[in-house]
Amino acid sequence: MNSDRIGVFDEYKKPYIKRPHLVDKLKPYIGKDIIKVFTGQRRVGKSYLLFQAGDIILEKNPHANIIYINMELAEFDFIRNHADLIAYVETRLTGNHDCLFVDEIQDIQHFEKALRSFVARGGIDIYCTGSNAELLSGDIAGYLSGRSMEIKVSGLGYSEFLKFHDLKESGESFLKHLRYGGLPYLIHLSLEDHVIFDYLRNIYATILYKDVVKRYNVRNTRFLEQLVRFIAEHTGSLFSAKRISDFLKSQRINISVQVVLNYLDYLVKSYMISRVGRSDVKGRKIFETGEKFYLEDIGLRNSIIGFRMADISQILENIVFNHLVLLGYTVTVGSFNGYEIDFVAEKQNEKRYIQVTYLMRDEKTIFRETDTLLKIKDNYPKYIISMDELPVSNVEGIIQMNIREFLTADVLKL
């Protein structure tokens, strides 16, 4: 590429499929004096959201000056720190709706100092992406005190998966989603195990070694890999760092509780896994012990330990959790007088109680899934989500839904 064309937006833009729910979150902030930060796991489509933002800007002002930087491309290797970033941007400013797009900004040392300088001078509409949760909570927000806002970008939900892959909703399509997950780039690949899982294992390695090992100077990489595998195999199980440490000691791996806590925190901040705490349904108290962990992308889980129908209940629970997050709910594991509710989802002062199971085929399962919900006496909606094609029974207002309907209907939108 001609050096004069480096950073010219149109030279880098790629075709994309629109994701309206993300664009709707972004639109109110376009052109405003606030830094827009797209966060999320690698390869969930943050770069393409930048492209959509650029097109919206150019539609309003065809002469807008978009300065584009992608730190994953070799031509931008010369930008190593905040001083390099400031010097480069200064040479590209025109005064005609200057916009700065920086993809994977965490790869620039002390980038937050450059952003603060740009905000202080004014007149630059700033957008950036990052693959680490500290990008907003620490590096940017702590430095810019309220001058930034976050848009969390997740992989494709089931409805988006169907749209991206041009599939009709069916049991076969749903099983593909359960098997391969929701990373958008899969539309360019053949949906076959050897193709998809090879790709996903490469993404897993990039996240693990670039976003965790390199960023946090992790030395015990063997244990880190074992920890990810442990979480993948125990998706949705309630456990503590101590329990993990005790289990590993039983396998002759002597790792302290604090190291487990640190490594879990790194994995959460890299968006590889999600941590879900427990809350008391009656008192809204958040318990300090006992958590669940889910993979941000179910396809990554399956690429690590294989897709096994014996794990279907865990996989369904992970899918439901990711869907609730995609809809903007704050999710906890409910605790009620010693009983557990899979998910308590809250948004806009409204709650939803949700149990997830594979099939409701016998009285024992029906009783187990309904009994705890029936003990909760408030009037918030209660759901049991399963693979059953038709509701098995109607128990005192508990809504039983097939998971495919649950993931494609608007029942949870407020």
For position 283, what pLDDT does the model report? 57
For position 1, what pLDDT does the model report? 58
More reliable by pLDDT, 360 or 166: 166
For position 269, what pLDDT does the model report? 95
- 292 shares a domain with 307: yes
For position 343, what pLDDT does the model report? 97
Last residue of some domain: 96, 117, 152?
Answer: 152
Which tens digits make up the pLDDT trace of 355-402?
999 998 888 888 888 998 998 988 899 999 999 987 665 677 899 999
For position 80, what pLDDT does the model report? 97
Q: Is residue 283 part of a domain?
A: yes
Which tens digits make up the pLDDT trace of 77-125?
999 999 999 999 999 999 989 999 999 999 999 999 999 999 999 999 9
For position 166, what pLDDT does the model report? 97
Last residue of some domain: 135, 152, 169?
Answer: 152
For position 282, what pLDDT does the model report? 72
For position 412, what pLDDT does the model report? 67
- 265 shares a domain with 385: yes
- 193 shares a domain with 131: no
- 118 shares a domain with 92: yes
Last residue of some domain: 127, 152, 177?
Answer: 152
Q: Is the pLDDT of residue 135 over 80?
A: no
| Distance separating alpha carbons of residues 337 and 253, to the nearest angstrom | 35
Q: Is residue 413 part of a domain?
A: no
Q: Is the pLDDT of residue 26 over 70?
A: yes
Q: Is residue 352 part of a domain?
A: yes
- 260 shares a domain with 304: yes
- 126 shares a domain with 86: yes
- 139 shares a domain with 173: no
Which tens digits make up the pLDDT trace of 305-323?
999 999 999 999 999 999 9
Q: Is residue 113 part of a domain?
A: yes
- 198 shares a domain with 146: no
3-class DSSP string for the chain = CCHHHCCEHHHHCCCCCCCHHHHHHHHHHCCCCCEEEEECCCCCCHHHHHHHHHHHHHHHCCCCEEEEEECCCHHHCCCCEHHHHHHHHHHHCCCCCEEEEEECHHHCECHHHHHHHHHHHCCEEEEEEECCCHHHHHHHHHHHCCCEEEEECCCCCHHHHHHHHCCCCCHHHHHHHHHHCCCHHHHHCCCCHHHHHHHHHHHHHHHHHHHHHHHHCCCCHHHHHHHHHHHHHCCCCCECHHHHHHHHHHCCCCCCHHHHHHHHHHHHHCCCEEEEEEEECCCCCEEEEEEEEEECCHHHHHHHHCCCHHHHHHHHHHHHHHHHHHCCCEEEEEEECCEEEEEEEEECCEEEEEEECCCCCCHHHHHHHHHHHHHCCCCCCEEEEECCCCCCCCCCCCEEEEHHHHHHCCCCCC
- 286 shares a domain with 270: yes
3: Cβ contacts below 8 Å, ≥ 6 apart: none
Q: Residue 122 sits in a domain of what CATH number?
A: 3.40.50.300
Q: 89 lies in which domain range?
A: 3-152
- 72 shares a domain with 177: no
- 105 shares a domain with 19: yes
Q: Is residue 102 part of a domain?
A: yes
Residues 14-41 have a mean pLDDT of 94
Highest mean pLDDT among 140-154, 173-187, 233-247, 325-339: 173-187
- 167 shares a domain with 265: yes
Q: What's the mean per-residue pLDDT of the chain?
A: 91
Q: Is the pLDDT of residue 152 over 70?
A: yes
Q: Is residue 110 part of a domain?
A: yes
Which tens digits make up the pLDDT trace of 221-233?
999 999 999 999 9
Q: Is the pLDDT of residue 285 over 70?
A: no
**Tally of domains in the chain:** 2
| Distance separating alpha carbons of residues 25 and 252, to the nearest angstrom | 48
Q: Is residue 414 part of a domain?
A: no
Q: Is residue 373 part of a domain?
A: yes
Which tens digits make up the pLDDT trace of 39-62?
999 999 999 999 999 999 999 999
